C-alpha cells in the first residue's frame, strides 16, 4: 500500500509540487522577468549595464563579469577528487587575491548577485542564476537551470587557467575540471563572446586607451561584446579579430589563439558556419559548467515554468470573516475570449466550494519563454475572497474552461493556520507597525493581540 501511494506521488507531470518555497522562489527569479523589474535581470538590462567604476562608459559590463566569475569559481574543480566547483568560494579574499583571479570583476559580481541570496538560494546559486540570466537576456540561448548549490566555507585550492600557460597545461586544466579539449575550445568561445581584457588587471595585454566610452581601457574579444553571438568565431576565422588573447603583441599570452587553433580550427570553423550550433553548444556547456559542484551536492531537476502557480496567498481575519487574497498564474494558456476560471476549494468542514475568478481581472504578460496569465482571487484587485473563518480553506483546485488543474489529484494545499488580524495597525509611512496574528486552533481562530494599538513614540 505504502509503495503504491509513494508511486502515485511521483506520477505527476510537474517537476515538483506546489507549495515548495525554495523552488517557487527560484521559478519566480527565472521566469518572471519583465523590462524594468527589480530582479537579477534588471542589472543586465540593457546589456551594457555596469554597476562598477565608470558605469556604461567603462567598456565593461555586469554580464561579462558575472559569466567570468562563474567560470573562475568553478575552475578549481577536481573531477577525480570531487573537490571545488561552483560553490561561491570566489567570495573569499584569499581566492580573489590570487594572480589567477586578477581584477575587480569578482567583487563587482558579488556586490550585486550575493544580495539575491536567501535562505533558499545560496550565493553559489545566485552566481549560476546570474550567468543564465545574463546569457538569456543578452541574445543567448535558454540555459537549463538546476538549483541547490552549497556555499563553500573556505577557499578552494588554486587552479584557474592563465593566459601565459602553455596549451598542454590548458588541456590538462580543463580535463581536471571535467571537460575535453573540444569542450575547452567551445567553452572558452562561449565565455569570450562577452567582455574583454581590462588594462588595469592585465596591463601588458590590454594597452591604455583614451576613449571616453571605454574609460577602463577594455580590449574586447569581439565587436559585439555585450551580446551573445558567434562573432567571436566569425571574426577569428575571417582573420579580422581584435581579440587581445589572439592578436596580442606578446604571443606568450595569446591563449585563445593556441586554444582556438588546437584542433586545426575545426570547432571554431563550425561555430563560424552556424550561429545555431554555437548557441546550442554553449547552452549545453554553460549548463554543465554551472552544474559542476563538489561531490555530495545534489542539484534539483531543471526548473521549468510551473503550468499553474498560486502566488502570495494571504489571510486576514476580520471578525468571523477570513479574507483570502492572492493570485494564480497560468503558463502559456491559449487565447480564449470567453475564458472561465474557477477556484474550487475544500474547507475544514468537508465542504466543497467554488468562486469564479472574473476574466476582467486577468493580467497577461509575455516573459522570455512564454506567456503568463494571472487571475486575482475575488473580483477586485485586493478585496480577496470572503470565507467563513470557521470553515477556512484546506486545498485549492482550479478549473480553466472546464478543465481541472489539480497537480494530478494532489491539489494545492493552503496553510490557513495563521492569519493577520484587521486589529493590526500601522503608523505613518515607515515600517512601524503592530501585527496582530490569529492562530487557527481546531476549527476557530484564537487571536493573539500582544500589544495595544498605539503610536511607537507614545
Ligand X SMILES: *[C@@H]1O[C@H](CO)[C@@H](O)[C@H](O)[C@H]1NC(C)=O
Q: Which residues would be at the binding site for ligand X (CB under 6 A)?
A: 78, 80-81, 164, 176, 237, 239, 250, 252-253, 261, 264-265, 304-305, 331-332, 342, 344, 354, 369-371, 378-379, 386, 399, 427-428, 430, 432, 455-457
- The single residue among 149, 192, 329, 440 that binds ligand HEM, judged by CB under 6 A, is 192
Residue 84 found at the interface with ligand HEM (CB under 6 A): no
Minimal CB distance residue for ligand X = 428
Q: Considering only the stretches 64-72, 117-125, 338-346, 357-365, report the one whose residues sit in contact with ligand HEM under the rule CB under 6 A.
A: 64-72
The yes or no reply on residue 67 touching ligand HEM (CB under 6 A) is yes
Q: State which of residues 140, 196, 313, 326 lies at the interface with ligand HEM (CB under 6 A).
A: 196
* Residue placing its CB nearer to ligand HEM in the complex, 234 or 254: 254
Q: If binding is defined by CB under 6 A, does position 201 make contact with ligand HEM?
A: yes
**What is the nearest approach in angstroms of ligand HEM to the Cβ of residue 65?**
5
| Least distance to ligand HEM, CB of residue 93, Å | 17
Return the one option of ligand X, ligand HEM, none that residue 192 interacts with (CB less than 5 to 8 A, by type). ligand HEM
The 100-119 site mask, x for binding ligand HEM (CB under 6 A), equals ---x-x--------------
CA–CA distance, 396 with 180 (Å, rounded to integer):
49
State which residue, 17 or 342, has the beta carbon closest to ligand X.
342
Site for ligand HEM in 3-62 (CB under 6 A): 60
Please report how close the Cβ of residue 144 comes to ligand HEM at its closest, in angstroms.
16
The interface with ligand HEM within residues 143-162 (CB under 6 A) comprises 161-162
Report if residue 198 touches ligand HEM, rule: CB under 6 A. yes
Task: Say whether residue 313 binds ligand HEM (CB under 6 A).
Answer: no
Least separation in angstroms between residue 158's CB and ligand HEM is 14
Residues interacting with ligand HEM, by CB under 6 A? 60, 64-65, 67-68, 71, 103, 105, 161-163, 170, 187-188, 190-192, 194-198, 201-202, 255
Amino acid at each position: 500500500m505504502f509503495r503504491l501511494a509513494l508511486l502515485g506521488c511521483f506520477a505527476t507531470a510537474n517537476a515538483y509540487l506546489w507549495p515548495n518555497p525554495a523552488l517557487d522562489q527560484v521559478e519566480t527569479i527565472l521566469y518572471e522577468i519583465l523590462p524594468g523589474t527589480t530582479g537579477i535581470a534588471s542589472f543586465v538590462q540593457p546589456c551594457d549595464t555596469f554597476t562598477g567604476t565608470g558605469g556604461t562608459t567603462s567598456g565593461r559590463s555586469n554580464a561579462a563579469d558575472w559569466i567570468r566569475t562563474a567560470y573562475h569559481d568553478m575552475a578549481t574543480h577536481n573531477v577525480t577528487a570531487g573537490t571545488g566547483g561552483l560553490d561561491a568560494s570566489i567570495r573569499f579574499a584569499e581566492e580573489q587575491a590570487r594572480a589567477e583571479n586578477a581584477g575587480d570583476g569578482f567583487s563587482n559580481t558579488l556586490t550585486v548577485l550575493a544580495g539575491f541570496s536567501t535562505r533558499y538560494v545560496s550565493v553559489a546559486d545566485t552566481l549560476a542564476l546570474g550567468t543564465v540570466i545574463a546569457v538569456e537576456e543578452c541574445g543567448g540561448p535558454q540555459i537549463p537551470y538546476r538549483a541547490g548549490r552549497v556555499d563553500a566555507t573556505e577557499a578552494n585550492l588554486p587552479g584557474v587557467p592563465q593566459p601565459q600557460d602553455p596549451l598542454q597545461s590548458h588541456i590538462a586544466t580543463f580535463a581536471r575540471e571535467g571537460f575535453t579539449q573540444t569542450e575547452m575550445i567551445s567553452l572558452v568561445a562561449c565565455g569570450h563572446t562577452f567582455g574583454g581584457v581590462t588594462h588595469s588587471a592585465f596591463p601588458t595585454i590590454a594597452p591604455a586607451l583614451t576613449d571616453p566610452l571605454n574609460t577602463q581601457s577594455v580590449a574586447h574579444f569581439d565587436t559585439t561584446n555585450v551580446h551573445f553571438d558567434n562573432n567571436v568565431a566569425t571574426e577569428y576565422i575571417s582573420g579580422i579579430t581584435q581579440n587581445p588573447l589572439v592578436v596580442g603583441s606578446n604571443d606568450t599570452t595569446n591563449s585563445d589563439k593556441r586554444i582556438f587553433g588546437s584542433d586545426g580550427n575545426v570547432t571554431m570553423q563550425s561555430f563560424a558556419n552556424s550561429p545555431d550550433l554555437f548557441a546550442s553548444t554553449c547552452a549545453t556547456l554553460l549548463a554543465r559548467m554551472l552544474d559542476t559542484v563538489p561531490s555530495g551536492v545534489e542539484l534539483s531537476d531543471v526548473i521549468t515554468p510551473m503550468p499553474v502557480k498560486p502566488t502570495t496567498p494571504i489571510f486576514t481575519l476580520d471578525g468571523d470573516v477570513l479574507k483570502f487574497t492572492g493570485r494564480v498564474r497560468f503558463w502559456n494558456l491559449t487565447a480564449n475570449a470567453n475564458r472561465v476560471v474557477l477556484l474550487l476549494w475544500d474547507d475544514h468542514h468537508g465542504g466543497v466550494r467554488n468562486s469564479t475568478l472574473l476574466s476582467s481581472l486577468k493580467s497577461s504578460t509575455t516573459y522570455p519563454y512564454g506567456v503568463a496569465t494571472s487571475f486575482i482571487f475575488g473580483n477586485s484587485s485586493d478585496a480577496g475572497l470572503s470565507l467563513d473563518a470557521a470553515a477556512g480553506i484546506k486545498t485549492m483546485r482550479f478549473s480553466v474552461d472546464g478543465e481541472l488543474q489539480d497537480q494530478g489529484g494532489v491539489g494545492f494545499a493552503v496553510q490557513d493556520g495563521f492569519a493577520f488580524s484587521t486589529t493590526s495597525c500601522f503608523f505613518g509611512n515607515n515600517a512601524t507597525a503592530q501585527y496582530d496574528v490569529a492562530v487557527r486552533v481546531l476549527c476557530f481562530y484564537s487571536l493573539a493581540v500582544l500589544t495595544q494599538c498605539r503610536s511607537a513614540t507614545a
